Chains A and B, each alone.
Chain A
């Protein structure tokens, strides 16, 4: 008798995390926990101490014993280029220095204490040059460090009367549209650097053998590292082997940089012919690795007296740092989110990313969107002030609904949950009552409440997924088990658990019957990078499709030959030896995007949210305490509700840190606070009570019954909600981040 597969429903259930026990008990082995290989030596990077200069030479003290020290300089590198979007960033500086902490030479030695002494026995002969340290100086263009005008990338989005032939005509069109509006409001909004501060610093171990180069380390995107190593070491694909170790957080900070440290370790291993371990300490990690792009956003809007939004003109400036890295993509996502979650008839949004002599900025959760959403949400509060309307009512009036078109002309169809989120968060928080009552002042402490509403594009921008063709392999294993092979990594966010749930339900087997292969480029196909809120929605959909195909083959065997699912699977395996499905992602066919005009479906769908913050501000010291934080988020479908809420609450806490206390302190291009004791992130005691509501407006093309990507979304709305709450409590209007007590004090003095 043929039996149907065991009935299992793990999607929607918060099953135990499969990596949980090892991490909680301490048995999980991160890269620096892995035992040393025979003959292993330690590597270290020598870096520039000035933000800009001419590298005249590298001098080794002749009185030092260099016999067991390996030194790698630029001339030792087959191709001195890091291949990302462009390849102008050298692996090691050659001739010119473009930022402080730029790698200049590498050394390795078996004795770590001697490695310290060797570092001091090397003199970098650098002639300093005047440095460009901010966006305005870069744009002024008096001194050029990139191309002809210090500009990495520009974008322009136009719509309605802002859409004409050429930039000048488009600008004239939007200006005319603005001039015809009842109420015109302008504002300028600034955001600052943010360090990812994953708990585990970056680290790699590299060695060579007959098969080529092997690197294992803390990373998000194995195939990014693979691509960079292949190019710089001038190797064929099959001679590069990249493996992820257990990774203690990434947040985008382990998207680009692991390629660099892996390559450094590989170069030292190549020259020394020994395995090389490179582990950054916290200070080196903060100083050298990428951060969130600082931004300046200028917005002018026109609306009717009743608050109906009409025209939007925005100019976005981002500081890319010294090399391009991923800046064009960050700028793109920032530009595509600059219109916020609102309807505009007419739009003109231009953006520019410039080069400065600061360490390259890069990927960080939200990827440009938190910067522009901060601006548009603060601007919505400014409009509300100008027309005397409640800020939430203004948002509700203009919030995009199904059938509306975005600034890129994308018509929203399915899974548009903005209004549902807004209503849920308002009801849960008692916003209207608290707002109407005015700020509650108790002695020298004032309490206020504020809101933000936002959407975040899930998955790669535009035609990204179509070009990328992400792949996943599912193998049938003996005993009715499945194995998932994917390059989408678990960096603490729960990928391996959630993928198991999706595969289990698709195949109709228990979640405990699904294995997750260690992500190594030698065994897993290229699923694309672990970024862009795409892991569950896009890669999860491939996992689901491939698992279903395998299950169908087993079920067919079962129908033909009987027995249980396990017995049928084992029969199939013994007959065919290998039962696998390699599946390629197919985006929904109606998604159409034009990269040249920046028009069309910017993202397959959006996740939506409303954040409401309640704060207390000490009127003497301007310390802000977040008393409550409500968030209602349209996630499509929560595969694992506890981890889904965990993403939202963790991302929100990261947003609270960015808004209230995190600040990279710069002095002449150098970072003055590269330590956990003085780069201030919130602790668990600073975390407010979170009241998180999951709204499920399913996206039919997502796995598990409609999941959307929500990894980045929670970083977007915290800062503007907090600013609105501080404004409600104190009347202080902050348009720049961070809102530290010192800055609020300055605002109060100058108000």
Chain B
């Protein structure tokens, strides 16, 4: 594809968040196609892979939200980290608060595409696309993050657990703009894992990826957040593993119990990137590895 193959579209750069919400509400009410563009790393790919018949759909309106101050910035308020929806992965990787308090996000950010993609891609964009293979979204699942969305009706907060409903579907309304995500951080120095099993070391979509954060008191986990990419139609929260691992002392965890919980939590498939069997194997292996690091005898 060259730029000349891009279908025609109208592009606007709205002045502020209320402007975006107003335009979006009006367009959605008339069923007019509208795109919120931040880094464009998903949208441009979609332009190339979209089915041919879609090429002559009504002229879409593209709203460039990448420079809206309301969507930018990363702030730490006590234990609450707020990341603007249009902050890039590179912003995240360089942010002192992220480095100090959410090192898993920084580590995950290194595995997104390659440096060029990291400089453009945003958490908000990946959340909007809602792909179960998105590494950034997987990390947010482990933090049990909250989405902050705005519309003409005002602000709404969506807990991660009630966000995704089916493959690339979410409970966010069509006229709602993702403004930020908020994370209630575990204490500094808490254990975490980011383990991506990809196709290569860069420009790689996860075959399986595990994000995990934990708070340990003695031989018990008092908090365990997990997210797993590419093993289900939505980002897997591994709720059975969470329940299992927080319900008993770490020393009482067995490999068999962990494997059974993982198997029940995921439903991988065969596709062009990998196989069901391999994904299931990796899912079990990486979860066991994290719990082993936390002190489980597995």
**Nearest opposing residue in chain B for A279, CB measure:** B2
* Contact pick for B289, options A120, A620, A676, CB 8 Å: A620
Determine whether A112 belongs to the interface, using a CB cutoff of 8 Å to chain B.
yes
Question: In whole Å, how far is A33's beta carbon from the nearest beta carbon of chain B?
Answer: 11
Determine whether A236 belongs to the interface, using a CB cutoff of 8 Å to chain B.
no
Q: Mark A331-348, 1 if CB is under 8 A from B, else 0.
A: 000000000000000000
Q: Cβ of B201 and Cβ of A683 under 8 Å apart?
A: yes
Q: A651-697: which have CB < 8 Å to B?
A: 661, 665, 672-673, 675-678, 680, 682-686
Q: Which stretch of B139-147, B167-175, B185-193, B277-285 is in the interface?
A: B277-285
Q: Cβ of A742 and Cβ of B203 under 8 Å apart?
A: no
- Given A112-B4, A116-B55; A741-B278 close (CB under 8 Å): yes
Rounded to whole angstroms, the CA-CA distance of A307 and B55 in the bound complex is 65
Determine whether B197 belongs to the interface, using a CB cutoff of 8 Å to chain A.
yes
* Contact pick for A683, options B1, B7, B203, CB 8 Å: B203
Determine whether A594 belongs to the interface, using a CB cutoff of 8 Å to chain B.
no
Q: Cβ of A621 and Cβ of B202 under 8 Å apart?
A: no
Q: Which stretch of B74-82, B255-263, B268-276 is in the interface?
A: B268-276
Question: In whole Å, how far is A595's beta carbon from the nearest beta carbon of chain B?
Answer: 43
Rounded to whole angstroms, the CA-CA distance of A210 and B160 in the bound complex is 70
**Nearest opposing residue in chain B for A685, CB measure:** B201
Q: Cβ of A621 and Cβ of B286 under 8 Å apart?
A: yes
**Nearest opposing residue in chain B for A620, CB measure:** B285
**Nearest opposing residue in chain B for A744, CB measure:** B278
Determine whether A577 belongs to the interface, using a CB cutoff of 8 Å to chain B.
no
Q: Mark A614-646, 1 if CB is under 8 A from B, else 0.
A: 000000110100000000000000000000000
Determine whether A444 belongs to the interface, using a CB cutoff of 8 Å to chain B.
yes
Taking CB atoms, residues of chain B closer than 8 Å to A661 are 199-200
Q: B216-247: which have CB < 8 Å to A?
A: none
* Contact pick for B282, options A621, A675, A686, CB 8 Å: A621
Question: In whole Å, how far is B210's beta carbon from the nearest beta carbon of chain A?
Answer: 11
**Nearest opposing residue in chain A for B203, CB measure:** A683
Q: Cβ of A623 and Cβ of B273 under 8 Å apart?
A: no
Rounded to whole angstroms, the CA-CA distance of A746 and B49 in the bound complex is 32
Q: Cβ of A742 and Cβ of B114 under 8 Å apart?
A: no
Rounded to whole angstroms, the CA-CA distance of A746 and B285 in the bound complex is 15
Among A117, A281, A665, A741, max chain B CB count under 10 A is at A741
Determine whether B5 belongs to the interface, using a CB cutoff of 8 Å to chain A.
yes
Taking CB atoms, residues of chain A closer than 8 Å to B5 are 112
Q: Cβ of B272 and Cβ of A673 under 8 Å apart?
A: yes
Determine whether B205 belongs to the interface, using a CB cutoff of 8 Å to chain A.
yes
Taking CB atoms, residues of chain A closer than 8 Å to B202 are 683-686
Taking CB atoms, residues of chain A closer than 8 Å to B286 are 620-621
Determine whether B57 belongs to the interface, using a CB cutoff of 8 Å to chain A.
no
Determine whether A466 belongs to the interface, using a CB cutoff of 8 Å to chain B.
no
Q: Cβ of A680 and Cβ of B200 under 8 Å apart?
A: yes
Q: Cβ of B200 and Cβ of A683 under 8 Å apart?
A: yes
Determine whether A154 belongs to the interface, using a CB cutoff of 8 Å to chain B.
no
Determine whether B52 belongs to the interface, using a CB cutoff of 8 Å to chain A.
yes
Rounded to whole angstroms, the CA-CA distance of A598 and B8 in the bound complex is 61
- Given A120-B52, A678-B272; A623-B278 close (CB under 8 Å): no
Q: Mark B200-217, 1 if CB is under 8 A from A, else 0.
A: 111111010000000000
Taking CB atoms, residues of chain A closer than 8 Å to B207 are 741
Q: Mark A433-454, 1 if CB is under 8 A from B, else 0.
A: 0000000000010000000000
Question: In whole Å, how far is B222's beta carbon from the nearest beta carbon of chain A?
Answer: 27
Q: Cβ of B2 and Cβ of A677 under 8 Å apart?
A: no
Among B56, B201, B207, max chain A CB count under 10 A is at B201
Q: B40-58: which have CB < 8 Å to A?
A: 45, 49, 52-53, 55-56
**Nearest opposing residue in chain A for B274, CB measure:** A742
Taking CB atoms, residues of chain A closer than 8 Å to B274 are 742
Q: Cβ of B200 and Cβ of A665 under 8 Å apart?
A: no
Determine whether A745 belongs to the interface, using a CB cutoff of 8 Å to chain B.
yes
Q: Cβ of B203 and Cβ of A677 under 8 Å apart?
A: yes
Determine whether A32 belongs to the interface, using a CB cutoff of 8 Å to chain B.
yes
Taking CB atoms, residues of chain B closer than 8 Å to A683 are 114, 200-203
**Nearest opposing residue in chain B for A32, CB measure:** B2
Question: In whole Å, how far is B55's beta carbon from the nearest beta carbon of chain A?
Answer: 6
Rounded to whole angstroms, the CA-CA distance of A745 and B280 in the bound complex is 11
Taking CB atoms, residues of chain B closer than 8 Å to A281 are 1
Taking CB atoms, residues of chain A closer than 8 Å to B273 are 678
Q: Cβ of B277 and Cβ of A682 under 8 Å apart?
A: no
Q: Cβ of A672 and Cβ of B52 under 8 Å apart?
A: no
**Nearest opposing residue in chain A for B273, CB measure:** A678
Q: Cβ of B205 and Cβ of A677 under 8 Å apart?
A: yes
* Contact pick for B278, options A32, A665, A672, A745, CB 8 Å: A745
Taking CB atoms, residues of chain B closer than 8 Å to A116 are 52, 55
Taking CB atoms, residues of chain A closer than 8 Å to B4 are 112
Rounded to whole angstroms, the CA-CA distance of A621 and B56 in the bound complex is 44
- Given A683-B202, A686-B201; A620-B282 close (CB under 8 Å): yes
Rounded to whole angstroms, the CA-CA distance of A89 and B132 in the bound complex is 45
Question: In whole Å, how far is B293's beta carbon from the nearest beta carbon of chain A?
Answer: 10
Among A117, A677, A678, max chain B CB count under 10 A is at A677
Taking CB atoms, residues of chain A closer than 8 Å to B201 are 683, 685-686
Rounded to whole angstroms, the CA-CA distance of A114 and B164 in the bound complex is 39
Taking CB atoms, residues of chain A closer than 8 Å to B281 are 745
Question: In whole Å, how far is A281's beta carbon from the nearest beta carbon of chain B?
Answer: 6
Q: Mark B79-99, 1 if CB is under 8 A from A, else 0.
A: 000000000000000000000
**Nearest opposing residue in chain A for B281, CB measure:** A745
Question: In whole Å, how far is B62's beta carbon from the nearest beta carbon of chain A?
Answer: 18
**Could you list some 13 contacts between A and B, CB below 8 A?**
A120-B52, A620-B282, A621-B286, A661-B200, A665-B272, A672-B272, A678-B205, A683-B114, A683-B203, A685-B114, A685-B202, A686-B200, A745-B281
The 8 closest A-B pairs by CB, nearest first: A620-B285, A685-B201, A742-B278, A680-B199, A683-B202, A685-B202, A673-B272, A665-B272
Give me the interface of B with A, judged by CB distance under 8 Å. Answer: 1-2, 4-5, 7, 45, 49, 52-53, 55-56, 114, 197, 199-205, 207, 272-275, 277-278, 281-282, 285-286, 289
19 extra interface residue pairs, beta carbon distance < 8 Å, beyond A685-B114, A742-B277: A112-B4, A116-B55, A120-B53, A444-B289, A620-B289, A621-B286, A661-B199, A665-B272, A672-B272, A676-B203, A677-B203, A678-B273, A680-B199, A680-B200, A680-B204, A683-B114, A683-B203, A685-B200, A686-B201
